[in-house]
Amino acid sequence: MTEQSTNWEPKIIAFLCNWCSYAGADLAGVSRFQYPSNIRIVRVPCSGRVSENMILSALKSGADGILVSGCHPGDCHYISGNYFARRRFALLSNLLDFIGVEPGRVNFSWVSASEGEQFAEVVQGVTEKVKALGSASRLVKKIDALETELQVA
Amino acid sequence: MKVLKVTPAELDAMMQQWSKAHRVYAPALVKQPAASPNCAPGWRRVDGSGALTLSTGPTPASVKTFFFPQPETLLTYTLENNHPDKGLMREPEKSKEMQVVVGVRPCDARSVLLNNLPYQEDPFFQANRRRTALVGFTCDQSLSTCFCTQMGGSPLGSEGLDLAFSRTQDGFIVEVGSAKGEALVTGLDLAPADESEITALAARRQKEVKASSTELDTLKGRELGKLYDAPLWQPLGESCINCGACTFICPTCYCFDIQDEVVRGQGRRIRYWDSCMFPLYSLHTSGHNPRGQKVQRTRNRFLHKLKYFPDRFGPFSCVGCGRCVQDCPVNIDIREVMNDLLAVE
Amino acid sequence: MPTINEIVSEEIRAQARKLLEEGTVAAVIGYAAGTLPMTVRPLVVRSPEDCSKLIWNTFCVLNLANYLPATLKSVEPPRGPRDPKPEGPLPKVAICATGCWSRNIVVQTQEHQVDRDRVVVMGVGSRGMVSRRKVEAIFSGKEILKVEEGDHELIVQGADFSETINRWSVVRDNCQTCTHPDPVLVDVRIGEPVSERKPPNPFIQVEKIEQKTVDARWAWFTEEFSTCIRCYACRNACPLCYCPTCFVDDAKPQWVGKSLDAVDTGLFHVLRAYHCAGRCTDCGTCETVCPMGINMRMLTKKLNKDVLNLYGIEAGMQPDAPLPLTTYAMDDPQKFMANEVAPVPSMAPATLGHRGPVPGSVKEGK
Ligand code: SF4
Ligand code: SF4
Ligand code: SF4
Ligand code: SF4
Ligand code: SF4
């Protein structure tokens, strides 16, 4: 864990599907629902597009938290993308838990285009969880430390 | 050359002495706890407390890791705007601290000399050589997979070692092989070895030389085309899974690849181990792969060691440590390959 | 009295010879003897005369299914990348297969890597394969020069010792917890069938890790993989890993770095295991081949457990069903969702918690 100054704010990468959750985020903004500004949104076509590689790369690059959000089951713009995603995310979140990545680092949710308020709630909840965990260190690559740690000498 | 006499107690004291001034490493026979990430797999950093344990045969991991760290940082840079270093590639500050590797076997010591041939002008390899002292122990016993004597080495060899320990009745005689070795024994109150023990060791060495075989050397005169087209490669390539284990555990495999890594604006260019067993190794940017088939890659590994390297540099690029023989998951045995090559018409 | 494996070896040789002589198959994938004790060498036999090289013993630890796609390709008439597929049926290949290997052949068929019609499975019931590492650990520090195999014991010999040890005690962990040792595909039966096993809890090792605290699990993970040298033997030995370009080799974007950085190594292992989710048969080859003795199989075993608990699927047991990650159910469990409590229209409640208890016995496929 790195030093935590009092005004530390986590960086949370949010992969939002274009059709529901991204629109939900948009609605939250338009409707002026307050939510923490810790998230950095990556718009993806579908939650089914979000691969384990992307999630882990975000962690590796220093994201303190991840949120993946798509349409509710049954509402997928591509009919079944989120159903497939659900199976993959269930296994991934269990596997990350198994290797000791703190629960709460990687989060998943369903938010529809009409759920601006829910979107704000989800982001609020995730941000609180990540704040409680502190800045991420597990599976985070540190290049400045490499010289000293990795050299055999 | 100076030859000293060392008792086991004195060896412990020497290790302690060295670990005060240098980084001292010894073979790790078991998995290391996560708390010591400071070392390459198969080795551990020691502080001189506790005795040195060596297994018969080669060390679990080869010494190449000290000369080709996995990875070696070649350059560092930053992508941050407004950084004074923006746009500059800097050579990283490398530690010059002396590292002492204790427990090296004669085969591995020779491997460093062999790798030195193609790496003569490599600044990183040479810098690592300058700061690494090899303290070796000659082999009283060998494993059934050891074949150093066929490859021009010897279980009793001291070539490439800065200090070479050989067991005697009540301790060791130590041959000081270099200025680095000399530095390691200065200030220590050590008696010179008895003349009789020196002659005894020389006699044992003589016996090894007589027993060693030079049959393999005839490969050097053979026509490459015939060896290349020999039918032995097809079944070999078929069972090889191209996993790369053999090349990674081999002390004389030295191929590398280079990549850039950037994390949060900080970048570095590293070189890390590569293996001719991997398709990516020979893949061209065009998409063409001159060694696109498994059999071609398997053949390359053996012909490189037994033909291309000796044609270019003289000796074979294998020291006969037998690690690949032991660890190849499909039991591809370089000793068999050599025999099959010798039998090629 | 010949041992069980001697009888099996003899039958393999006879059947292989017969298949090749009749012209039923163009090649047979089996094992030949190795040059060291407790080693064997995978061998593709193409002529009846070479069949005498085939053997079977308790050290056949590599999954032969790994060789199947390439061997099938090798017996096809040569053709260029743009040439049409030749008319008529293509030559067949016979392969010796135990329970897990045959399940991998099922997975290969489901994934269209292998044409089932071109494969003749010589099914061998597995009695569990011995871990060379476990035997070496018993005699640590002493070199083993010869191992003789009986049905229930091994006679281990070195320069100055000869000891008899119980065979089952050194059988690999994955074999000890295996539930389907008999092949699920059999075209030619070799030896006697072996019955399904019911180990008390096939996921015992996984559960031991699950029961640790999150910090202890992280410590386990970091330590277990700290000695990985990134040789990729675990990947290459696995019949599931056939991608022409592995994610490890992607450079843009670079998903994982290639050096021994602990994070890169950890990510490699997480992703490798994850890519095997719902496909891994716990054949144990990955663990067996690792030169550093790393137990990366725990990750795939954990996934196997979850796939079974969440979706009721064991890889390779349902040839006609889709693979678990290529399909879905409307009511798949979703307890892991951050806002799962929110009402979800038209959703049946999740019945199986994703960290719920393991069922007492493993569900049989089908
Ligand atoms: S190969 Fe030779 S030098 Fe190396 S460990 Fe064996 S006997 Fe010793
Ligand atoms: S270890 Fe064996 S199987 Fe792996 S690449 Fe080397 S020769 Fe091939
Ligand atoms: S090829 Fe094998 S025996 Fe020769 S040096 Fe390398 S690992 Fe040792
Ligand atoms: S991941 Fe390991 S246990 Fe699973 S199928 Fe592959 S080699 Fe076998
Ligand atoms: S086989 Fe072992 S050392 Fe090689 S990459 Fe896999 S875990 Fe790492």
SS (H, E, C) B209-224: HHHCCCHHHHHHHCCH
At B38, is the pLDDT very low, low, confident or very high (cuts 50, 70, 90)?
A: low
C216 and C301 share a domain? yes
Distance B244 CA to ligand 5 centre (A): 10
Q: Do C69 and C108 reside in the same domain of the chain? A: yes
C94 and C117 in a single domain? The answer is: yes
Give the angle C145-C150-C155 at the CA atoms, nearest 5°.
Answer: 30
Instruction: Name the H helices within chain B.
Output: 8-21, 64-67, 106-116, 123-130, 179-185, 195-211, 224-228, 233-239, 245-249, 279-282, 294-303, 309-313, 323-327, 334-343
Examine the domain organization and report whether C342 and C239 are in the same domain.
Answer: no
Say whether both C306 and C351 belong to one domain. Answer: no
Q: Are A137 and A2 in contact (CB under 8 A)?
A: yes
> What's the predicted TM-score (pTM) here?
0.91
B240 in contact with ligand 2, CB cutoff 6 A: yes
C345 & C216 share domain: no
Instruction: Inform me whether the pLDDT recorded for B39 exceeds 70.
Output: no
In a domain, C139, yes or no: no
Measured N-to-C along each axis, helices A81-98 and C297-311 cross at an angle, to the nearest 10 degrees, of: 130
- Band (C199; pLDDT cuts 50, 70, 90): confident
- A141 in contact with B, Cβ within 8 Å: yes
Q: Which of B30, B31, B141 to mutate to test the interface with C (most CBs of C within 10 A)?
A: B31
Straight-line distance from the first to the last Cα atom of chain C, in angstroms, rounded to the nearest whole number: 39
CB contact under 8 A, C62 and B259: no
Reported as a single tens digit per residue, the pLDDT across B328-339 is 999 999 999 999
Instruction: Dump pLDDT digits (tens) for C333-343.
Output: 888 887 754 43
Residue C18 lies in a domain: yes
A43-57, C224-238, C250-264 — which is least confidently predicted?
C250-264
Same domain, residue pair C274 and C335: no
For ligand 1, residues with CB inside 6 Å are: B 57-58, 105-107, 139, 142-143, 146, 148, 155, 320-322
| B201 SS3 class | helix
* C174 within a domain of the structure (yes/no): no
C119/C258 same-domain check: no
In degrees and rounded to multiples of 5, residue C158 shows phi and psi of: -130, -170
Is residue C10 in some structural domain? yes
Q: Which of B70, B112, B264 to probe by mutation at the A interface, max A CB count within 10 Å?
A: B264
| Cα(B67)–Cα(B254) distance, integer angstroms | 10
Beta sheet of B266-273, edge-to-edge order: B72-78, B266-273, B256-263
Q: Which residues of A touch B92 (CB under 8 A)?
A: 147
- In degrees, rounded to 5, the angle at the alpha carbon of residue C14 between the alpha carbons of residues C9 and C16 is 90
CB contact under 8 A, B69 and A147: no
Compute CA distances C85 → C50, C119, C221, whole Å.
30, 18, 47
- The answer to whether residues B276 and B300 touch, using CB atoms and an 8 Å cutoff, is yes
Pick the closest to residue C104 from C306, C284, C239 (CA basis).
C239
Residues 6+ apart with CB under 8 A from C264: A141, C256, C257, C258
- Quote the distance between the C-alpha of residue C183 and its chain's center: 13
pLDDT band at B223 (very low <50, low <70, confident <90, very high): very high
Q: Where do the structural domains in chain A lie, given as residue ranges?
A: 12-152
* Averaged pLDDT of chain C: 90
pLDDT at res. C84 = 87
CB B251 within 8 A of CB B319: yes
Considering the domain architecture, whether residues C287 and C357 belong to the same structural domain is answered as: no
Residue of A60, A62, A153 lying closest to B97 (CB–CB)? A153
Q: Distance from the CA of C65 to the center of ligand 4, in angstroms?
A: 11
Domain membership of residue C343 (yes or no) is: yes
The Cα–Cα gap between C210 and B27 comes to 32
Task: Kindly give, in sequence order, each residue whose CB lies less than 8 Å from that of residue C306, ignoring residues fewer than 6 positions away.
Answer: A90, A91, A94, A95, C354
- CB-nearest to B71 from A60, A62, A150 is A150
DSSP B90: B
pLDDT at residue C345 is higher than 80: no
Cβ of B332 less than 6 Å from ligand 2? yes
Number of domains composing chain C: 3
Confidence of residue B215 (pLDDT cuts 50, 70, 90): confident
- Please, which pLDDT band fits residue B181 given cuts at 50, 70 and 90? very high
Q: Considering C166, C190, C214, which residue would you say is the last residue of a domain?
A: C190
* Residue linked to tokens 């996560």: B34
Chain centroid to CA C81: 31
Instruction: Note the ipTM here.
Output: 0.90
- Domain at A12-152, CATH from 3.30.70, 1.10.3470, 3.40.50, 3.40.220: 3.40.50
- Domain check: are C45 and C113 in the same one? yes
Tracing tokens 């001291």 back to the chain, one arrives at B158
Phi and psi, residue C107, nearest 5° = -60, -40
Q: What is the pLDDT of residues C133-165, one digit of tens each?
A: 999 999 987 899 999 999 999 999 999 999 999
Closest chain A residue to B38, measured at CA: A149
| Ligand 2 centroid – CA B160 distance (Å) | 28
Contact B160, B110 (CB under 8 A): yes
Q: pLDDT at position A151, please? A: 43
Parallel/antiparallel/unpaired status of strands C27-33 and C40-45: antiparallel
Sign of CA dihedral C316, C318, C320, C321: negative
Is residue C258 located within the same domain as residue C109? no
Whose tokens are 């469990």? That residue is C333
Same domain, yes or no: C218 and C344: no
Peptide bond into C253 cis (omega under 30): yes
Q: What is the pLDDT of residue C138?
A: 93
- What is the DSSP secondary-structure string of C167-228? SGGGB-HHHHT-S--S-S--SEEES--------S-TTHHHHHHHTS-HHHHHHHHHHHTTT-
* Residues spanned by the domain of C364: 328-366
d(CA B100, CA B178): 13
The CA-CA-CA angle for residues B182, B183, B184, to 5°, reads 90
Give the pLDDT confidence of B51-103 residue by residue, as tens digits. Answer: 788 889 999 999 999 999 988 999 999 988 888 888 889 888 888 889 999 99
Angle at C195 between CA C192 and CA C196, to 5 degrees: 145
Residue B257: burial class (beta carbons within 10 Å; 0-12, 13-18, 19+): middle
Q: What is the pLDDT of residue A149?
A: 40
